[in-house]
Amino acid sequence: MTLSLDDFDLKLLMEVQRDAHIPQNELGERVNLSTAAVNRRLRRMSDAGVIRNYAAIVAPEKVGYPLTIIATVEVESEQIDLLDSMKRTFAQCPEIQQCYYVAGEWDFVLILTVRNMEEYTALTRQLFFSNNNVKRFKTLVSMSSVKVGLGVPVAPEGV
């Protein structure tokens, strides 16, 4: 079920995706709605799962994780239980920020954040080399995070 969202909702989403600490009365001014209406709409979208959660976005390089790595993985077999097991392993690994199961030349794309190359090497051993279902993998080392976010382009019609 897809909750119907009007332009007010979309504008609110746009705002809170960028900054979730704007007071609701100010949000109200920006979108021309009362504080109460803003509050109700945000709650409604949270309840409906449109807003999954509110999160503090941490700068990895400020907490000792200056390296971002993109890894692509090809599997040996696409047997469901083997895939599920890999997905669970990837999902549980704290250094893996994102994991996509993809169609195309590869089967998985991973985004990792690590302290240094040694840590990544250790992770490849743990995640890839010691997993019989990993046929091959490739590593791309990020030299610059040009853009990092999870923002969805929810602009009201015609922006």
Partner DNA sequence: CATGAAAGAAGCCGTAC
Partner DNA sequence: GTACGGCTTCTTTCATG
Instruction: Tell me which residues touch DNA (CB under 7 A).
Output: 8, 23-25, 32-37, 39-43
Between 3 and 148, name the residue whose CB sits nearer to DNA.
3
- Minimum Å gap between C-beta 2 and DNA is 15
Taken in order 106, 136, 114, 83, the sign of the CA dihedral is positive
d(CA 61, CA 3): 38
**Cα–Cα distance measured from residue 23 to residue 51, given in angstroms and rounded to the nearest whole number:** 17
Pick one of a copy of itself, DNA, none as the site partner of residue 33 (Cβ within 5 to 8 A by kind): DNA
Shortest reach from residue 33's CB to DNA, in Å: 4
Radius of gyration of the chain (CA): 20
Answer for which of 25, 36, 49, 121 binds a copy of itself (CB under 8 A) is: 49
* Cβ contact 28:16 at 8 Å: no
Residue 134's binding partner among a copy of itself, DNA, none (Cβ under 5 to 8 angstroms by kind) is: none
Residue window 4-33: x/- pattern of binding to a copy of itself, with contact defined by CB under 8 A: -x----x--x--xxxxxx------------
Please tell me the distance from the alpha carbon of residue 148 to that of residue 159, in angstroms, as a whole number.
22
Taking CB under 8 A as the binding criterion, the range among 29-37, 90-98, 120-128, 129-137 that sits at the site for a copy of itself is 90-98
Q: Is 80 a residue that touches a copy of itself (CB under 8 A)?
A: no
Q: Is 158 left (phi over 0), alpha (psi -120 to 50) or beta?
A: left
Which residue reads 């990092």 in tokens?
148
The answer to whether 42 and 24 are in contact (CB under 8 A) is yes
What is the contact surface with a copy of itself in residues (CB under 8 A)? 2-3, 5, 10, 13, 16-21, 48-60, 62-65, 68, 70, 72, 87, 90-91, 94-106, 108-109, 111, 113, 138-155
